[in-house]
């Protein structure tokens, strides 16, 4: 397996300390704090470890404090309810004696029901698009050292934006975008793991969509951005090592907060997940 992906699996898979208590390590990916998607993925893995024969269908999470990647994170799971068809879990992530994150998640037994979905947007296939790394490499010489380190890190996912990346000269654009994504190597056949990894990677491209109408990018000076909350709904089976299309839009920005939402489709057009995020988007100075 690809070394970066293998290391990500090591991070996502937690050490069990007690029946409902888990410990996870972190990775420094170049950001000033623990990557929010890592905490989200680990928390979902902790919750899933306390549920049998049921898969997560929704989660709602809040980011409370910055995580320190030099210290372990402890995840405490509250088994709120196990019903006939659904199980509910609450997870609190603790570091240095304080809560840094909390999440509620609901799990469901396999069940048949009514079926409908929205259609996937008509976009070019991933094979016809350039990877994000090429645009990032071209911009690195013009970036400050800290930003160059953050963006220059190799990732265990292949990202192919439908709209060209314009980090240094973003211009004003509609508040929407589409991105193809898949893991760089084959993953184990574990549906719970694929849902945890989708939670991990979903934090990459959501919030910055709120910048499009304002001529800003994540590299703009005097811009402060941070995730506040994150919600996901899982509709149908999928694999993160197959191409997935993220179709994202931002209906609103106000009060120094940006709101974004998106749908995730397989390449044959099945809607497999929906997501939403609100985050701090503040221009200072």
pLDDT: which is higher, 56 or 150: 56
Q: Is 220 a catalytic residue?
A: no
Annotated catalytic residue, options 26, 38, 261, 277? 277
Question: What is the average pLDDT across 196-219?
Answer: 92
Band the pLDDT of 145: cuts 50, 70, 90: low
CA count, 13 A, side-chain hemisphere, 6: 3
From 203, 208, 261, 274, active-site residue: 203
φ and ψ at 222, to 5 degrees? Answer: 65, 20
**108-117, 129-138, 213-222 — most confident range:** 108-117
| HEC letters along the chain | CCHHHHHHHHHHCCEEEECCEEEECCCCCCCCCCCHHHHHHHHHHHHHCCCCCCEEEEEEEEECCCCCCCCCEEEEEEEEEECCCEEEEEEEEEECCEEEEEEEEEEECCCCCCCCCCCCCCCCCHHHCCCHHHHHHHHHHHCCHHHHHHHHCCCCEEEEECCCCCCCCCCCCCCEEEEEEEECCCCCCCHHHHHHHHHHHCCCCCHHHHHHHHCCCCCCCCEEEEEEEEEEEECCCCCCCCCEEEEEEEEEEECCEEEEEEEEEECCCCEEEEEEEEEEEEECC
Provide the pLDDT for residue 152. 62
Which are the contacts of 134, defined by CB distance < 8 A and separation ≥ 6? none
- 227, 250, 261, 274: which is the annotated catalytic residue? 227
In the structure, what pLDDT confidence band is assigned to residue 285 with cuts at 50, 70 and 90? confident
Q: pLDDT of 43-76, one tens digit each?
A: 999 999 999 999 999 999 999 999 999 999 999 9
Q: Does residue 204 have a pLDDT over 70? A: yes
Q: Is 251 left (phi over 0), alpha (psi -120 to 50) or beta?
A: alpha
Average pLDDT over residues 251-278: 98
Domains plus CATH for the chain?
Answer: 3-109+127-283 (2.40.160.210)
Asked whether residue 147 carries a pLDDT value surpassing 70, the answer given is no
* Per-residue model confidence (pLDDT) at position 32: 79
**Using an 8 Å Cβ cutoff, are 257 and 249 in contact?**
no
Q: What is the pLDDT of residue 205?
A: 84
Torsion from C-alpha of 188, 193, 196, 198, nearest 10 degrees: 40
Contacts of 208 (CB under 8 A, 6+ apart): 217, 218, 225
> pLDDT band for position 144 (50/70/90)?
low
Model confidence at 11: pLDDT above 90: yes
Judge whether 203 counts as a catalytic residue.
yes
Question: Which has the closest alpha carbon to 249: 219, 204, 202, 210?
Answer: 210
Separation between Cα atoms, residue 184 and residue 62, nearest integer Å: 29
Q: pLDDT digit string (tens) for 19-37?
A: 999 999 999 887 778 999 9
pLDDT for the residue numbered 217? 85
Tokens of 106: 């609901």
**Res. 146: pLDDT tops 90:** no
pLDDT digits (tens, 9 = 90+) for 239-253: 999 999 999 999 999
Of 40-44, 139-143, 148-152, 193-197, give the lowest mean pLDDT range: 148-152
Computed over every residue of the chain, the mean pLDDT equals 93
Q: Is 190 a catalytic residue?
A: no
List all residues 6 or more positions away from 3 whose beta carbon is below 8 Å from its beta carbon: none
Cα(75)–Cα(96) distance, integer angstroms: 12
Q: How many CA atoms lie within 13 A of 97 on its CB side?
A: 0
Question: Do residues 265 and 272 touch, judged by C-beta distance below 8 A?
Answer: yes
Identify whether the C-beta of residue 47 lies closer than 8 Å to the C-beta of residue 77: yes
Mean pLDDT of 101-112: 98
Beta bridge partners of 77: 91
């Amino acid at each position: 397996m690809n070394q970066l992906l293998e290391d990500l699996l090591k991070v996502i898979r937690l050490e069990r300390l007690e029946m409902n208590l888990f410990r996870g390590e972190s990775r420094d990916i170049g950001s000033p704090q623990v990557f929010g998607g890592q905490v989200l993925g680990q928390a979902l893995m902790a919750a899933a470890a306390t549920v049998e024969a049921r898969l997560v269908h929704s989660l709602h999470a809040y980011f409370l404090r910055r995580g320190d990647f030099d210290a372990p994170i402890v995840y405490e799971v509250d088994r709120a309810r196990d019903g006939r068809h659904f199980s509910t879990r609450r997870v609190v992530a603790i570091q240095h004696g304080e809560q840094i994150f909390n999440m509620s998640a609901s799990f469901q037994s396999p069940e048949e029901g009514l079926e409908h979905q929205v259609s996937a947007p008509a976009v070019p296939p991933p094979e016809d698009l350039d990877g994000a790394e090429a645009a990032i490499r071209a911009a690195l010489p013009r970036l400050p050292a800290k930003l160059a380190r953050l963006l220059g890190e190799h990732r265990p996912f292949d990202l192919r934006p439908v709209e060209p990346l314009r980090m240094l000269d973003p211009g004003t654009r509609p508040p929407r975008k589409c991105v193809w994504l898949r893991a760089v190597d084959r993953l184990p056949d574990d549906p719970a793991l694929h849902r945890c990894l989708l939670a991990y990677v979903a934090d990459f491209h959501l919030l910055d969509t709120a910048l499009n109408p304002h001529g800003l990018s994540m590299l703009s000076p005097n811009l402060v951005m941070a995730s506040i909350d994150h919600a996901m709904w899982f509709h149908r089976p999928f694999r993160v090592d197959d191409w997935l299309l993220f179709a994202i839009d931002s209906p609103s920005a106000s009060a120094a907060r940006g709101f974004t939402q998106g749908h995730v489709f397989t390449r044959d057009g099945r809607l497999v997940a929906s997501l939403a995020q609100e985050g701090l988007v503040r221009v200072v100075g």
